[in-house]
Chains A and B, each alone.
Chain A
Amino acid sequence: MSVTLDIRLKRANKVYLEGETVAGVILLVCKEALQHHGISLSMEGVVNLQLSSKSVGVFEAFYNSVKPIQLISSNIEVAKAGKIPGGKTEIPFEFPLHTKGNKVLYETYHGVFVNIQYTLRCDMKRSLLAKDLSRSCEFIVHCQPQKSKVIPTPVNFTITPDTLQSREKNSLPKFLIRGHLDATNCVISLPLTGEVVVENSDVPIKSIELQLVRVETCGCAEGYARDATEIQNIQIAEGDVCHSLAIPIYMIFPRLFTCPTLETTNFKVEFEVNVVVVLHDDHLITESFPLKLCRL
């Protein structure tokens, strides 16, 4: 006797804002009528923090992982113990996304040390002989759009051997790379844009890349740990590009792995972008720009 349990959300993209209602159906498909001891559905929003083994010792990392922070939680009983007829059964449900007290619903974010996740979980209890069934489904929460307008803050940059903070400054070949980012306070749904121009370079250029980096900070009793890890690396130039020709900088912020810059008492999630120029002799020149992401 087989039965499948599934949760189907109404919205195809599964994105909800605070204050909205998460609506969908529980879908049960079984061949014959099915006896059960009750079906329950729970919604949960949790921030999971983890300390990196780098900033604290391995064991601390293992034991001291910070307690998860619960953002929202609710539970309802969908069906009392009874029987479900054979065939396809759909049980609709709705959960309002309201927080209790002054808690804020942070935007869904999947990071390395910080994870903000919202799940729906459906459990079906069954008799002793049959296994309980359970199914979970993640949905995505976007925070309320920011009210204020974002005024773009363009950044110009020039990279020469002299501007670098490097010890082997003198051994570097000569080059002059200019460019600009259209804004460092970015709207998360819009791409990061700008231009980079190789004015001249003694050594041919091998590659120019954009590296998106997350900087996660977890605070705990023993202090805090701050770690920067790469989210993605996008190559924007390959080979020895034409000099003094503007090469576009363009990067779409990946979903789930980015969220509006977040600062709370317990943790922080920030982002940076690095413009990385690789020279043919494998010199790596990096210029870093902190970003402030927001949602409009």
Chain B
Amino acid sequence: MAAVQWRSHGRNYDTELQRCRLEAALVDFGDYHPLKPIMVTDTKTRRGTRKGSTSSSSSSSSSAPPDPLSSMLDGTDPLSMFAAASASETPPMSHSSSTGDLGRRKREKEEEAVGPDFEPWSLKRGEILARFTTTEKLSINLFIGSDRGKATSQGSAVSEKVRTRLEELDDLEEGSQRELLNLSQQDYANRIEELNQSLKEAWSSDQKVKALKIVIQCSKLLSDNSVIQFYPSKFVLITDILDTFGRLVYDRIWTMCSDPRPLPDNFTVEDVNDTAKETCLNWFYKIASIRELLPRLYVEAAILKCNRFLNKSGIQETLPRLSAMVRGIGDPLVAAYARAYLCRVGMEVAPHLKDSLNRNFFDLLGTFRQISSENVRAQLVLQRVEMPEYLTLYSPAISWILQCIAYRAPESLLTEMMERCKKLGNNALLLNSVMRAFRPEFVAARATDFIGMIKDCDEAGFPKHLLFGSLGRSLASADPPESERLTILNEAWKVITKVRSPQDYINCAEIWVEFTCRHFTKREVNTILADIIKHMTPDRAFEDAYPQLQSVIRKILTYFHDFSVLFSMERFLPFLDMFQKDSVRVEVCKSIMEVFIKHQVELTRDPVILNAMLHICKTMHDSVNALTLEDEKRSLALLIIGFIRMVRLSHLLYYVNNNHNCCFGLLYCIVLICICCFCFNFGVTFFFFSALQVSFGRDFEQQLSFCVEARATFCNLEPVLVQLIHTVNQLAMETRRVMRGNHSRKTAAFVRACAAYSFITIPSLSSIFSRLSLYLLSGQVALANQCLSQADAFLKAAVSILPEVPRSISVEGKLRSSESFLVDFINSFLATLLVIPDHPEHGVLYLVRGLLNMVQDYTWEDNSDAKVRVYISALPLLAAMSQETYLYSIPKVDSNDTLYGGDPKFLSEINKLCETLIGQILDHLKTLGRDEQSTRRQGALAFSLFGVLLAHGDLRNNKLSQLAVNLWNLSHKHGCCETRTSVRTLEFIKHQTQQPDMTHLSDMVQRLTLQSRT
């Protein structure tokens, strides 16, 4: 094919822009327009019916634009009607004839239900299991009953059946027992779980007797406290089984009466059919005949809920009876847990029955002296358990009971409870549970009393630091009277500081830190920190207390957000020094950084903060090593970047916002964001949009030197370096903004220093695309600051590393082809090249040529059109370059349009270049044409070249228009062109022909034919 002669189509960007704008059409007042406010003419008063509705627009005023949706409706809208209905509690669509009754029931139910503020057992459960463990060997006494029940023939009379069943029960009690000895705790738990499973199996295979047997056997285990430390956990495990059993029985009876339709939730006795009642009664009779006290008690408690099937007052009568039954349990620990179980079941089934809860507690108090009885002492000696440890075994049970009692209890009751505890000689165990279970507000209001009571306690049984710990926990969430606060802290700390064991000390101190932080200033907190340091430093006791120390830091950080105050605490940094284990220290630093980033809104140039934070960041940075995970690095980098951001003065968007009319600014911004998106694929982009309100000072130089220092400090974290380069670039742009674009000698030197910083830093990055985009960005910044040679250097550097781009890169751990990234980069690079003036010592279009040469030499993927696509996209650039005035320019920088002033020599250079490019493209198209499979690609490329010719080429030139027609035909030759696009293109060309200087296109349209795909 003969060489093509390229002529760029001359453009007048201003008129084109004018033409593109939509015409403004005036709308007459009376005309309909969807966005015009709808005037409401209907002004009926709807107040009466719309009481309680959420929409506040009333009909009286129509000046505010009313909601078109609501005005569409005549009268009240259905939603607010519902709202009004529910507010006045007269549901209009209730099916029940007695609506009042329904409402009452609903209310009753609300009263009954335990609110979400009640800490459920399930939460306590795990806590207890984790806390009460043992290394002693355990044993299970079990009777695996014979399956005699199965042997009973169908024909036997009821009496026989009953007898055999009862015999089986007896058999269980006296019969062959199997003892499992030497179980570890885990084995034990597994065994219990097995029992739970076999219970379910037995139940589902209709072996109800076996199921009952299992439950009885399990609850019998609870009377055995041979490994006393494990008892609370055992209780938890076994009551799980009991709960399962209770549920199974209840569900079964429930299903028995759900025929024909299921029972409502609030069913009454009358709704239950006789068979179900009989079955239920049978269960109760059966359980009433269990020989041993403890199983009888527990199993009956487990199916307490079933009383609902029998009579109204069943639960109400049973609970007190069961509570009284507990009195028969001699062992105080076993009894306490039995009571806890009763309270638990009671709360679940009938939370309104407070009386039995109270009775339980009073009984507990009544039997308290049992704890110090001879029997118990002997047992403790036998098991080698110390009294304090023994007492802590009670705390879950007592706490639970008290929690149930205290739940929504009136103040007077709590006071009464407290008095009763006092009467018992301020028993420490009780006091502890009272403080833990009662509402924090209640405890806080009487904090001084409690301190007095704690002091009066005898030290023997229960360590005081635990008591203060509990008190502290209450005070942490509720405030004592203002006047008492300091005394409370003083009194408490007096005791705490005397605690010998560092572990006990820190456990208690950690709790009180919260109270201190809440109500006092840095002075007191500092004192406490000093005290903690004093206690924890000897023998490196802090090594065992990292979790508590961390929690101290966390608490301080929740209350002290002002970092200048925080770091002015003398003891804060020494406190941090106690974290000597690397992982913990980094954790702590991270938590500090997180708070800093979250709460530091204002810039601070406070050298104390900067130094301290730099120190903390350095600690985090230094923890990075070869083994650090990628994620970890990323999160560290993010935190450090957050810090650098806070030190930063101004913001790039500021610049953009002040330069609305500067096209380059917008371009720049968009390019930047794109770069950010793929530089580091985590959400760094967000900070470009965030802190517009950041204040700024003018000591830029100091900041640059900060960046230099930071670069040295954080050299291991690439994202941080990237951020630093962005920071410095921003600094340069900020300077430009402050100087309103007219750099003085000093500021010019400064921006050059900034450019130098970037230029030095960029090569140390390993990611090639980070480097490329930063070169481009820094080049743009340098250009904007009139540093032409620096800009040249950046762009040249970018071009020179292009060949290094690997063919594939790893994106989020996956290997991807780099081609699309590269093409994108080159495109944005080309966009920048438009405004770059040619270097006087190099030839015309030096950079463009250089780029194109690199593109040519680059080893593209086989079978890829990327190179040609780059060529195609270079054509619009060249076309834009040949315009008289360029589409965009940089203030105070003369681009080629001014430099050459449309010199024909320059234009012919461009045209030559274009011709070469087109030649290359056509060659490629030819190559593609040889292969059957690549016709689709050929078509697509031809079409895009056609597009470029149409938009940028001067088609008055015959050869060029001939080429365009040929390309059109080529792209349609194989029918793989999308018809819709073709039609749209044709329409566009036809539209264009109506322009005054585009008439020549009409000839061409005639020659462009659509080919139907057949």
Chain A residues at the B interface, C-beta cutoff of 8 Å? 11-14, 110, 117, 119, 135-138, 204-205, 208, 232-242, 245-248, 250-252, 254-256
| In contact, B327 and A242 (Cβ under 8 angstroms) | yes
Query: Within the complex, what minimum Cβ distance (angstroms) separates A237 from chain B?
Result: 4
Q: Which of B261-297 contact A (CB under 8 A)?
A: 273-275, 277-278, 281, 284-285, 288-294, 296
Q: What 1/0 flags go to B202-245 for Cβ under 8 Å of A?
A: 00000000000000000000010000000000000000000000
Give the CA-CA distance A238 to B295 in the complex, in Å.
11
Give a binary string over B364-397; 1 marks a CB under 8 Å from any A CB, 0 the rest.
0011011001110000000000000000000000
Q: From the candidates B273, B288, B293, B296, name the one contacting A237 in the complex (CB within 8 A).
A: B293
Check: B162 CB closer than 8 A to any chain A CB. yes
Q: Quick check: B159 and A138 within 8 Å, CB to CB?
A: yes
Interface string of B302-340 (1 = CB under 8 A from A): 000000000000000000010011011111001000000
A237 near B291 (CB under 8 angstroms)? no
Can you identify 23 A-B contacts, CB atoms within 8 angstroms? A11-B274, A12-B278, A110-B163, A138-B159, A232-B289, A234-B288, A235-B291, A235-B296, A236-B328, A237-B293, A237-B327, A237-B328, A237-B329, A238-B294, A238-B330, A239-B331, A240-B330, A241-B329, A242-B370, A245-B366, A246-B327, A248-B324, A256-B159
| Chain A residues in 8 Å Cβ range of B366 | 242, 245
| A173 vs B375: C-alpha distance when bound (angstroms) | 17
Check if B155 is an interface residue, CB within 8 A of chain A.
yes
Residue of A nearest to B284 (CB): A252
Find out whether the CB atom of A138 lies under 8 angstroms from the CB atom of B277.
no
Interface of B, helix, strand, loop or mixed by DSSP: helix
Complex interface: chain A residues within 8 A of B369 (CB): 242
> Please, which residues of chain B bring their CB within 8 A of the CB of A117?
159
Q: Which of B158, B294, B375 contacts A138 (CB 8 A)?
A: B158
Measured CA separation A203–B334 after assembly (Å): 21
Q: State whether the Cβ of B93 lies closer than 8 Å to any Cβ in chain A.
A: no
Interface residue B1 (Cβ < 8 Å from any Cβ of A): no
B residues touching A (Cβ–Cβ < 8 Å)?
155, 157-159, 162-163, 223, 273-275, 277-278, 281, 284-285, 288-294, 296, 321, 324-325, 327-331, 334, 363, 366-367, 369-370, 373-375
A-side contacts of B334, CB under 8 Å: 239
Contact (Cβ within 8 A) B325 A245: no
Separation of A252 and B300 alpha carbons in the complex (Å): 13
Closest to B378 in A: A204
**4 extra A-B contacts, CB within 8 A, seeds A238-B223, A248-B324, A254-B285:** A12-B275, A234-B289, A241-B330, A254-B289
Q: Which 5 A-B pairs have the closest CB atoms?
A: A239-B330, A237-B328, A12-B274, A252-B288, A240-B330
Chain B residue numbers with a CB within 8 Å of A242 are 327, 330, 366-367, 369-370
Contact of A235 among B157, B277, B285, B293 (CB under 8 A): B293
| A208 (CB) vs chain B CBs: closest residue | B328
Complex Cα gap A248–B290 (Å): 16
- Known A-B contacts A138-B158, A250-B325; A255 and B285 likewise in contact (beta carbons under 8 Å): yes
Query: A239 to B288, alpha carbons, bound, how many Å?
Result: 20
Q: Which residues of A contact B331 (CB under 8 A)?
A: 238-239
Q: What is the predominant secondary structure among interface residues of chain A facing chain B?
A: strand
- On whether the beta carbons of B367 and A136 are closer than 8 Å, the reply is no
Q: How many Å lie between the Cα of A250 and that of B324 in the bound state?
A: 10
Q: Is the CB of A240 within 8 A of B328?
A: no
A residues less than 8 Å from B288 (CB atoms): 234, 251-252, 254
Q: Are B327 and A245 in contact, with the CB atoms below 8 A?
A: yes
Is the pair A247, B274 in contact by a Cβ cutoff of 8 Å?
no
Least Cβ–Cβ distance between A274 and chain B, in angstroms:
14
Q: Kindly list chain A residues whose C-beta atoms are within 8 Å of the C-beta of B321.
A: 248, 250
Q: Are A119 and B157 in contact (CB under 8 A)?
A: yes
Contact partner of A256 (CB less than 8 A), chosen from B162, B274, B296, is B162
Instruction: Report chain B residues within 8 Å CB of A252.
Output: 284-285, 288-289
Residues of B within 8 A of A247 (CB): 324, 327-328
Centre residue among B157, B159, B321, B331 by max chain A CB count within 10 A: B159
- Which chain B residue has the least Cβ–Cβ distance from A206? B330
**Which residue in chain A gives the minimum CB-CB distance to B285?**
A255
B277 neighbours in A (Cβ, 8 Å)? 12
User: CB within 8 A of A238: which of B163, B290, B328, B375?
Assistant: B328
A-side contacts of B292, CB under 8 Å: 235, 238
Most buried by A among B163, B284, B293, B325: B293
A239 contacts which chain B residues (CB < 8 A)?
A: 329-331, 334, 375
Chain A minimum-CB-distance residue to B331:
A239
Query: Which single residue of chain B is at the shortest CB-CB distance from A119?
Result: B157
CA distance A286 to B273 in the complex (A): 43
B residues within 8 A CB of A204? 330, 374-375
Q: Separation in Å of the B235 CB from the closest CB of chain A? A: 16
**Which A residues are in CB contact (< 8 Å) with B159?**
110, 117, 138, 256
Q: Nearest Cβ in chain A — how far from B432, in angstroms?
A: 22
Closest CB in chain A relative to B551 CB, distance in Å: 41
Complex formed: what's the CA distance from A247 to B326 in Å? 8
Q: Do A234 and B291 have beta carbons less than 8 Å apart?
A: yes
A210 → chain B closest CB, angstroms: 10
Once A138-B157, A138-B159 are accepted as A-B contacts, the answer to whether A237 and B367 lie under 8 Å apart by CB is: no
Question: Cβ of B367: which chain A residues have Cβ within 8 Å of it?
Answer: 242, 245
CA A139 – CA B162 in complex, angstroms? 13
A27 to B531, CA, bound (A): 86
| The residue from A12, A137, A241 contacting B327, defined by CB atoms under 8 A apart | A241
User: Nearest-CB distance from B257 to chain A (Å)?
Assistant: 11
Q: Identify B329's interface contact among A110, A233, A238, A256, CB under 8 A.
A: A238
Q: Which residues of A contact B157 (CB under 8 A)?
A: 119, 136-138
Tell me the complex Cα distance, A126–B274, Å.
Answer: 36
Q: Quote the shortest CB–CB distance from A107 to chain B (angstroms).
A: 14
- Report how far A234 CA is from B158 CA in the complex, Å: 24
Q: Are B289 and A205 in contact (CB under 8 A)?
A: no
Which residue of the partner chain A has the closest CB to B327? A247
Question: Given that A12-B274, A204-B375, A256-B162 are contacting pairs, would A248 and B293 also be in contact in the complex, using a CB cutoff of 8 Å?
Answer: no
| A234-B327 contact, Cβ under 8 Å, with A13-B278, A138-B158 | no
The docked-state distance in angstroms from the alpha carbon of A233 to that of B293 is 11
Q: Is there contact, CB below 8 Å, between A248 and B327?
A: yes
- Expressed in whole angstroms, the Cα–Cα distance for A202 and B845 within the complex equals 115
CA distance A136 to B155 in the complex (A): 8
Contact of B375 among A11, A119, A240, A248 (CB under 8 A): A240
A238 adjacent to B293 (CB under 8 Å): yes
Bound: A63/B20 CA distance, A: 124
A12 to B280, CA, bound (A): 12
Distance, CA A11 to CA B274, complexed state (A): 8
B447 → A minimal CB distance (Å):
33
Which residues in B have their C-beta under 8 angstroms from that of A232?
289, 291
C-alpha gap A232/B159 in the complex (Å): 16
Q: Could you say which residues of chain B place their CB within 8 Å of the CB of A110?
A: 159, 163
Residues of chain A contacted by B296 (CB below 8 angstroms) = 234-235
Q: How far is the CB of A253 from chain B (nearest CB, A)?
A: 9
A245 CB contacts on chain B under 8 angstroms = 327, 363, 366-367
Residues of A within 8 A of B163 (CB): 110
Assembled-state Cα–Cα distance A246/B359 (Å):
14
Smallest Cβ distance from A113 to chain B, in angstroms?
15
Residue in B158, B367, B370 with the greatest tally of chain A CB atoms within 10 Å: B158
Complex alpha-carbon distance, A201 and B16, angstroms = 112
A132 to chain B, nearest CB (A): 13
CB-defined contacts of A233 to chain B, threshold 8 Å: 291
Chain A residue nearest to B288 (CB atoms) is A252
Please, how many angstroms separate the alpha-carbon atoms of A239 and B321 in the complex? Answer: 19
Query: How far is it, in angstroms, between the C-alpha of A138 and the C-alpha of B327 when the chains are bound?
Result: 40
- Min CB distance B271 to A, Å, is 15
Q: Given A12-B274, A233-B291, A242-B370, is A248 in contact with B325 using a C-beta cutoff of 8 Å?
A: yes
Report B-chain residues with C-beta under 8 Å of the C-beta of A240: 330, 373, 375
Alpha-carbon gap, A240 to B378, bound state (A): 13
Interchain CA distance A237-B375 in the complex, whole Å: 16
Are A241 and B274 within 8 A (Cβ)?
Answer: no
State A238–B290 Cα separation when bound (angstroms).
14
A164–B293 Cα distance when bound, in Å, is 26
